[in-house]
Amino acid sequence: MAVPSVALYASPPSSVCSTSHQINAHVFAVCRRLVDRFFGSEADRRRPLVPFRFAGADGGEALSSSSSSSFAGGGDELARQERGEEFRELSSSLSSSFRYSPSKFGGSWKRDHQSPVSVLHGPVSCSSNSSSGNAGAKSFPARTSRDRNDVNVLGSIQRGYNGMFSGFVRRAVASCVELEMPPVEVRGDSGGAADVEELTFNLEDCFVESDLEPYAKELLVNAQLRHKIFCDEFVIKAFYEAEKAHRGQMRASGDPYLQHCVETAVSLALIGANSTVVAAGLLHDTLDDTFMSYDYVLRNFGAGVADLIVGVSKLSQLSQLARENNTASKTVEADRLHTMFLAMADARAVLIKLADRLHNMATLDALPLVKQQRFAKETMEIFVPLANRLGIYSWKEQLENLCFKHLYLDMHTQLSSQILESFDEAMIASAIEKLELALKDKAISYHSLSGRHKSLYSIYSKMLKKKLTMDEIHDIHGLRLIVENEEDCYKALRIVQSLWPEVPGRSKDYIAHPKLNGYQSLHTVVTGDGMVPLEVQIRTKAMHLQAEFGFAAHWRYKEGECKHSAFVLQMVEWARWVVSWQCEAMRNDQSSIGHVDSVKSTCTFPTHMEDCPFSYKPLSDQDRPVFIIMIENDKMSVQEFPPDSTVMDLLERAGMGSSKWTPYRFPLKEELRPRLNREPVGEPTCKLKMGDVVELTPALPNKSLTEYREEIQRMYDHDLTMSRPGRSTSTLVGWRS
Ligand SMILES: Nc1nc2c(ncn2[C@@H]2O[C@H](COP(=O)(O)OP(=O)(O)OP(=O)(O)O)[C@@H](O)[C@H]2O)c(=O)[nH]1
Ligand SMILES: Nc1ncnc2c1ncn2[C@@H]1O[C@H](COP(=O)(O)OP(=O)(O)OP(=O)(O)O)[C@@H](O)[C@H]1O
């Protein structure tokens, strides 16, 4: 079996505010003081990580790093900013998910033996004001005394969360998937990639402090306080370019457009994306909305960033088409759209699009009600499932909660007042501690112990689906314990049931009696402290991998009984792999500079080992179906074609029942020809590619051709520029996505 030929190197956090940009010295001095306060002194940060070796899947060794809790990305999620006298919460998304690293009792546990999967299951916002989690710094809610108490709890999340990423791919994928990766290359893989040397730059040459308005400086410092990647020169350069490009543009809310770019990039940084992705997040709207050209981005940031922005732009166009045509309201169409999105773009472009949508949803209030509803509906239909498939559960839940609020305001208000009162985070934290002590006492070592409370929307859907009242939902508060072997599952169950009284009839043994999809786990509901029902799930690592990646994968469990083709499964697996690998590489190689677009160039689709029970025949590129968008008479549909299909095949399909589009009738007149990605088709035998948009002009249009073309043009132009009184001096860029 092939061993991943990738070496992940650890580096000390010396890159924190390491820029030498003198003119920004003041900003960085402030930043450094605050970073010191929250991340420890320079000396602490420079403390080298102790690398450890782990056995590769074939017994070989690869180098990884222990996830030091002192600085790694997960810890940045817990970064707090201090403004004036008052701590403000940087992200309400920190409030509801708990991860607790196991203590080192038993002597056999290393840091990498922590939570194996759900890598992107970061903290989740469940509150009715979850929108603030992604809003600009000025709208962060002040911390309450209850919040302050949570800081200790969050500290323990930090430890566990860092550990979650360590060795993720090896554990999560390599156990049933064979990885083949060519060595890391320095160049991006897309044509025209610039040499690294060409991309080196001196910030001092490029910018002067007076270039930045005070609000922009504040945005940069705030971002730096929330994640140290914003001290990386490459990212700072992207920030300056974004600022220059969007200068004068405002959001519908009246906020500077730059704030949206920063919030998008911060969300990406918080899930562990590297500087290429974060820089692309900062610049994601520049090609569509500003004077900046692809070539300019390519020259200054390399093909890695430029191609990601193009990918995001294409996703934006397609999602707008889908929104305007209500395409995703049908299950089959929606499913094809999700697959196409994942298949046509670098999975990281989808990630940026999701982060962009997350902030747009969090600031939706500025738009008219009808638009709020349209965007919320589209988000629910397209973006929530994408976040689910990619395994970014924290984003999925934030998006769901926001959509819920905009689509069903009354229900949301009613439920949130009921539920938010009853969320008992302190209970979860103390239950984790209590169980940890008891496990230690009985010398049962475990891999990870985590807790979460169910999100508002998840509670609502469960009530609806199962016709339950809130009191009948027993998993509002839950713990999950991952142990080494089956025997320990049962031992741990007995311990749980000795700590708290069992709720009769709620225990399930899916180990002895696996579900049809292979799901295995022990479930019990106990009455926790304060008489709060607490669901505890106990399983082994292998069972957990199955629940996250196998046939019983949570995304499929959540999507219900849909039948997915092998192609869809592969796409999802591939996308999750890219995203997870990216995040892990980032965490393990904190010094990586954005223009080294290693992921794209080293990413080869993982294949299952022969004896893997969950293997399916991997499809080569030539065997993969092609999904395209077809626009015909104002109607848009997502069509699946066999590999190697041509425009002619599409015309034949479209012309079924009429001879309108037979090969003999391919119109000679250019303006009557179908258009492929906006250009008239030259050769009807040209091959269709994933994500192509084909417009079929009606042979005898009801409207004049000009009118029809204008309509299509409007669909492409997704710049919903809105005019606002009193703002004539600056361009006002409305909410768009
Ligand atoms: N990944 C995955 N998780 C599952 C699956 N089935 C159950 N779970 C998890 O286990 C939890 C409880 O499942 P069950 O004990 O079967 O409960 P239920 O019958 O769905 O209904 P409740 O008891 O009301 O929650 C779910 O909320 C999921 O978190 C599955 O097939 N795949
Ligand atoms: N007891 C638990 N402890 C820790 N994490 C859990 C627990 N139960 C579920 N989770 C995880 O929390 C996230 C959100 O779960 P959520 O309750 O919304 O859905 P679910 O578990 O699928 O439940 P259901 O289908 O019953 O609504 C998922 O990633 C899930 O795997």
Q: What is the pLDDT of residue 575?
A: 77
- CA of 529 relative to ligand 2 center, distance in Å: 20
Task: Report residue 87's pLDDT band, with 50, 70 and 90 as the boundaries.
Answer: very low
Bigger pLDDT: 685 vs 575: 685
d(CA 307, CA 315): 12
Q: If residue 533 lies in a helix (H) or strand (E), which one and from where to where?
A: strand 533-540
Ligand 2, atom 29: closest residue by C-alpha: 393
Ligand 2, atom 28: closest residue by C-alpha: 393
- CA of 412 relative to ligand 1 center, distance in Å: 24
Q: What is the pLDDT of residue 107?
A: 28
Q: What is the pLDDT of residue 611?
A: 67
- Residue 676's nearest CA partner among 622, 629, 717, 636 is 629
Q: What is the pLDDT of residue 506?
A: 93
Q: What is the pLDDT of residue 412?
A: 93
Range ranked top by mean pLDDT from 56-70, 121-135, 380-394, 573-587: 380-394
Q: Per-residue pLDDT averaged across 539-548, rounded?
A: 88
Q: What is the pLDDT of residue 607?
A: 58
Q: What is the pLDDT of residue 282?
A: 98
- CA of 537 relative to ligand 2 center, distance in Å: 10
Bigger pLDDT: 423 vs 727: 423
Res 42 pLDDT > 50: no
pLDDT digits (tens, 9 = 90+) for 597-637: 443 444 455 555 666 655 666 666 677 788 888 887 767 78
For ligand 1, whether the C-beta of 517 sits within 6 Å is yes
Q: What is the pLDDT of residue 458?
A: 94
Lowest mean pLDDT among 247-261, 620-634, 639-653, 721-735: 721-735
For ligand 1, whether the C-beta of 440 sits within 6 Å is no
Task: Report residue 183's pLDDT band, with 50, 70 and 90 as the boundaries.
Answer: very low
Give, as one character, the DSSP assignment of residue 379.
Answer: I
For ligand 1, whether the C-beta of 558 sits within 6 Å is no
Q: What is the pLDDT of residue 162?
A: 29
Contact 628, 643 (CB under 8 A): no
Phi, psi (deg, nearest 5) at residue 503: -85, 115
Res 659 pLDDT > 90: no
Res 103 pLDDT > 50: no
Its sign, for the CA torsion 366, 367, 372, 376, is negative
Q: What is the pLDDT of residue 470?
A: 86
For ligand 2, whether the C-beta of 537 sits within 6 Å is yes
- Residue 177's nearest CA partner among 428, 548, 512, 501 is 548
Res 448 pLDDT > 80: yes
3-state secondary structure 194-229: CCHHHHCCCHHHHCCHHHCCHHHHHHHHHHHHHCHH
Kindly identify the ligand whose nearest atom is closest to the C-alpha of 505.
1
Residues 6+ apart with CB under 8 A from 513: none
pLDDT digits (tens, 9 = 90+) for 335-351: 888 888 888 778 889 99
Task: Report residue 128's pLDDT band, with 50, 70 and 90 as the boundaries.
Answer: very low
Provide the residue type at 171 as one letter.
R
Ligand 2, atom 1: closest residue by C-alpha: 478
For residue 436, the cross-strand partners are none
- Residue 401's nearest CA partner among 360, 454, 457, 476 is 457
Q: What is the pLDDT of residue 187?
A: 28
Task: Report residue 713's pLDDT band, with 50, 70 and 90 as the boundaries.
Answer: low
What ligand 2 atom has the least distance to the C-alpha of 478? 1
For ligand 2, whether the C-beta of 476 sits within 6 Å is no
Residues in the chain: 737
For ligand 2, whether the C-beta of 452 sits within 6 Å is yes
- CA of 109 relative to ligand 2 center, distance in Å: 26
For ligand 2, whether the C-beta of 122 sits within 6 Å is no
d(CA 215, CA 221): 10
Pocket perturbation via mutation, ligand 2, pick of 97, 390, 454, 496 by most ligand atoms within 8 A of CB: 454
Contact 628, 693 (CB under 8 A): yes
Lowest mean pLDDT among 101-105, 531-535, 584-588, 671-675: 101-105
Q: What is the pLDDT of residue 150?
A: 31
Res 684 pLDDT > 80: yes
Contact 616, 569 (CB under 8 A): yes
Q: Per-residue pLDDT averaged across 486-505, rounded?
A: 96
Bigger pLDDT: 165 vs 493: 493
Q: What is the pLDDT of residue 207?
A: 53
What ligand 1 atom has the least distance to the C-alpha of 548? 1
Strands (DSSP E) found in 566-634: 607-608, 626-632
- CA of 571 relative to ligand 2 center, distance in Å: 24
Contact 98, 425 (CB under 8 A): yes
Q: What percent of the chain has pLDDT over 90?
A: 34
Kindly identify the ligand whose nearest atom is closest to the C-alpha of 468.
1
Largest Cα separation within the chain, whole Å, is 82
Q: Per-residue pLDDT averaged across 397-416, rounded?
A: 93
For ligand 2, whether the C-beta of 251 sits within 6 Å is no
Neighbouring CB atoms inside 10 A of 55's CB total: 11
Res 556 pLDDT > 70: yes
For ligand 1, whether the C-beta of 544 sits within 6 Å is no
Bigger pLDDT: 175 vs 466: 466
Res 111 pLDDT > 90: no
- CA of 454 relative to ligand 2 center, distance in Å: 7
Q: Across the chain, what does the average pLDDT equal?
A: 67
Q: What is the pLDDT of residue 8?
A: 21
- CA of 561 relative to ligand 2 center, distance in Å: 18
For ligand 1, whether the C-beta of 554 sits within 6 Å is yes
For ligand 1, whether the C-beta of 545 sits within 6 Å is no
